[in-house]
Every structure is written in C-alpha cells, then in structure tokens.
Amino acid sequence: MDKKENQHDIIDEDLYEEIDDEELYELVQKEREKAFAREREAKQHHKPKRPFPKWAFWLIAVALFLNVIAIIPRTFSLPAIDFLVTSAKLSLQEDIQAYKEAVVTIETDDSKGTGFSITADGKILTNHHVVEGEQTVIIAFPEDGLFQAKVTETYPSVDLAIIEIDDAEKVPFLDLAERAVIEKNEPIRFIGNPLQFNGIANQGKIIDYTTLESWKEAVVMIQAPVYRGNSGSPVFNEAGEVIGIIFATLDHEEYGKVGLFYPIDYYYKYKK
C-alpha cells in the first residue's frame, strides 16, 4: 500500500502496528495447539518409565506459570479487550446487525480491507489504497458470500475507489447521507474488518476537521479505536446514514493517535 507521509502529517494508511495484540494471540494459540498435539502423540506411544520427580514437576509448572503471566499483558492489552467488548455490545442492536450485512471484506493478493455496498446491484465504496494496482478483487459479504468485482473508478486524491460486482442481483446496501454534517463531539459508529477480525462494530466521537499537507481537501479526525483493516469502513451518524469513509490514522500533536475519515460529500463531488 502506498503511504502518504511527510514531516508534518504522520499518516498511516495501514492503520497502526506492524504486529498487533491479536496477531500475537493467534501465534500463541497455534503454539498451544502444537503443544497439545505433541502431548496427545506422546500419550499414544507412552511406555512405563520411572515415576517423574515431584520437585521437577513443580519447577516446570512454576516456570510455565511465569511465562503465561509475562505473555498476558501483551496478548490481552486493555485497548484490544475494550474494542472487542464494545463491538459485542453494539452488535446486539438490530440496526448494527442490519448495517453489517452490507459491509464487505475486500481481499487482494497482499492486503485486506473494508468496503460497503451502496446499491442493490453491488456498487461498493472503499479506499483507493486498498485496491491500488488491482483490476479485480474478491468481495465477501457476511451473509451473501463471495463475489468477484471490478475496480471501475479510482480517485487517489481523496483515497476513494468504486468497485462493481459483475453478477449481483440483489445485495444489502447502506444509505448515504445527502451531505455530511460534522459537529464537534458528535457520536459516530463505524463497522470494519480490523486486525484478524471481520464485521467489528465500534464507536467514537468527532474531534474536528483538519487539513493535511498531502491533501487538498479537509478531513475529519475522530477519537475512536481505528486499526489496520479499518481502511474503507463506513462511518455512521445517529440516523444510520453513512457520513464518511475511514482511510487512515494520524499522530496529532494535541490529540495523539486519531482516526481519519473523509466526508461522503467527496464521493458526490468526484464521481461526477
């Protein structure tokens, strides 16, 4: 993915860490599974041996316990737990469940991102950097399955891309706001595919507009848990309309690490 960075705007279009807590957890789980498999195999080929010394057993047990204690803070960091718990709570809401059906996973050879359908025949919006260099991509709807889609239009200056499914008859879609009304501290919700997860709903609030030296258009900062894979996530207002698309994070001098989205107005402006 192409990263737009300069000395003043520290933008991360890959959206956070080189290795994250969930990836680390997945690695730990795989190693545990391997250990259990070795243990089962050893039991199947077990031969009677001298009793294992109790002191050695307890020494190994203490060592394993200390290792687990050392891993837990990295594997289950509070931010990671918080954003999953929040998603679980939001996902109990009927409107969020309906929105999720129209949010897709976009797979390319070397990346994974988010997009969302805006028409029943499968017109999908996402970030340009999610599909950059691709002519076709694989789209996965949560309920409607896999589709092949063509990248039909791209607008790199606002990191927007339009994808169209060839043979979709009727797929779920989201309603777009006629224009994005941006107010400070306004609550927002968004749905995407961060880290190793799909269909994660989350929430935050609008901080304000900001300008980037690498962009002509103003973008919106949000205080929210935005991670890698959230590129292309739709941002909803309280009425359930899409008001913007998440595309990056920013290290801000005053607010720290924030999410960035551009208003849906830019879709109307650039698609003409």
Q: Domain containing 138 — which CATH number?
A: 2.40.10.10
Non-local (6+) Cβ contacts of 54 within 8 A are none
Answer with the one of 122, 138, 165 that is the final residue of a domain: 165
Assess whether 55 and 98 both reside in one domain. no
How many structural domains are present in the chain?
3
Assess whether 26 and 107 both reside in one domain. no
Examine residue 7 and state whether it is found in any structural domain, yes or no.
Answer: no
Answer with the one of 165, 190, 213 that is the final residue of a domain: 165
Assess whether 181 and 264 both reside in one domain. yes
Assess whether 179 and 245 both reside in one domain. yes
Task: Give the structural domain span for 47.
Answer: 21-76
Which is the catalytic residue, given 231, 233, 251, 265? 231
Backbone φ and ψ of 88, nearest 5°: -60, -40
Choose among 227, 244, 210, 216: nearest CA to 156: 216
* Model pLDDT, residue 62: 58
For this structure, is 8 an active site residue?
A: no
Assess whether 57 and 122 both reside in one domain. no
* Model pLDDT, residue 110: 77
Assess whether 182 and 259 both reside in one domain. yes
* Model pLDDT, residue 24: 45
* Model pLDDT, residue 167: 78
Assess whether 56 and 100 both reside in one domain. no
Assess whether 266 and 181 both reside in one domain. yes
Choose among 179, 199, 195: nearest CA to 243: 179
Assess whether 260 and 188 both reside in one domain. yes
SS3 content of the chain, % helix, strand, coil (to 5): 30, 30, 40
For this structure, is 166 an active site residue?
A: no
Examine residue 14 and state whether it is found in any structural domain, yes or no.
Answer: no
Examine residue 40 and state whether it is found in any structural domain, yes or no.
Answer: yes
Which is the catalytic residue, given 159, 166, 167, 175? 159
Examine residue 8 and state whether it is found in any structural domain, yes or no.
Answer: no
The tokens of 139 are what?
């789209």
Assess whether 193 and 232 both reside in one domain. yes
Choose among 175, 174, 148, 173: nearest CA to 163: 148
Examine residue 2 and state whether it is found in any structural domain, yes or no.
Answer: no
The tokens of 215 are what?
């962009």
Answer with the one of 165, 196, 226 that is the final residue of a domain: 165
Assess whether 42 and 116 both reside in one domain. no
Kindly write down the DSSP assignment for every residue of 111-165, as one continuous string.
-EEEEEE-STT-EEEE-HHHHTT-SEEEEEETTTEEEEEEEEEEEGGGTEEEEEE
Q: Dihedral of CA 206/236/161/216: which sign?
A: negative
Assess whether 157 and 185 both reside in one domain. no
Examine residue 84 and state whether it is found in any structural domain, yes or no.
Answer: no
Which is the catalytic residue, given 9, 12, 128, 129? 129
* Model pLDDT, residue 75: 44
The tokens of 194 are what?
């961060």
Examine residue 1 and state whether it is found in any structural domain, yes or no.
Answer: no
Where would I find the beta strands (DSSP E) of the chain? 11-12, 103-107, 112-117, 123-126, 136-141, 145-155, 160-165, 187-192, 200-210, 219-223, 234-236, 242-252, 256-263
Q: What is the pLDDT along the chain (272 residues), one digit of tens a residue?
A: 333 333 334 445 544 334 344 554 554 455 556 555 666 666 566 555 555 565 555 666 656 555 544 544 444 455 556 778 888 899 999 999 999 999 999 988 877 899 999 999 999 999 999 999 999 999 999 988 899 999 999 999 999 999 999 877 799 999 999 999 999 999 999 999 998 889 999 999 999 999 998 899 999 999 999 988 899 999 999 999 999 999 999 999 899 999 999 999 999 998 86
Examine residue 208 and state whether it is found in any structural domain, yes or no.
Answer: yes
For this structure, is 129 an active site residue?
A: yes
